[in-house]
Amino acid sequence: MFADNISKIAIVAHDGKKAEMVAFLKDHVNELTGIKIIATGTTGKHVAQAGLKVDAKLSGPMGGDAQIAAEVAEKKVHAVIFFRDPLGKHPHEPDVQMLLRLCDLYNVPLATNPATGHLLLKGIFSEKHTE
């Protein structure tokens, strides 16, 4: 059961997806109860302004994606929700790809849009409440 060990998730959103991420998190506050949230810097600021507690790292292009990737590799982050802008150009794309690759390498659940994010949080919430 993957939800047994979910105590920290990482939140990342490209600029065009930050408002969508904040709305998503507000809609899933119950599922996030008791889970520590870390985020890249600018995303973290948006999340904090919405009233949610978050540990903000550096901005993505300034190394925040790499910081989160390191925590994935160290098994300190147990799930990642990353709302990507598939049409945008991103100077830090190598860091983004590293984060995605490490999620695959370490079998860390990764959601890249609201639909998969909802299913990920629903799975965490339902497993935590059926044991």
Catalytic residues, by residue number, are 65
Q: What is the CA radius of gyration of the chain?
A: 13
Phi, psi of 36 (to 5 degrees): -75, 135
Q: In angstroms, rounded to a whole number, what is the distance separating the alpha carbons of residues 131 and 128?
A: 6
- What is the enclosing helix (H) or strand (E) of 56? strand 55-56
**Residue among 102, 77, 99, 80 at smallest CA distance from 90:** 99
